[in-house]
Structure 1
């Protein structure tokens, strides 16, 4: 995954070659933002699954304790 510094360096090279630096920067930062949003969504989904699994485990422990 590209970092902000790498993107800016690449944009500088494009500008040197006469290409459109601002359009490149805009597109690349948009891609970075989308990746960050996806990663955050996946992180939240993982946390929700972990919480649900923890609740299931605690319920199972209570059931086992009642049987003992």
Structure 2
């Protein structure tokens, strides 16, 4: 999931990233594929919203933060 890797590479130190990768990989192994897919879709939507808010496009449309 490239968009998430980009975010976490930016936000997390190498040690934190390693901890996250461990938890994320365990999550992928333990959860059903349907649950993983739904959660990743939700995260993708949130990342898109955060990107638009950062650019100010939603603010211009009258959405209050």
Question: Would you call these one fold, judging by a TM-score over 0.5?
Answer: no
The higher-RCO structure (CA 8 Å, 6+ apart) is 1
Normalized against structure 1, the TM-score is what? 0.43
* Bigger Rg, structure 1 or 2: 1
Normalized against structure 2, the TM-score is what? 0.44
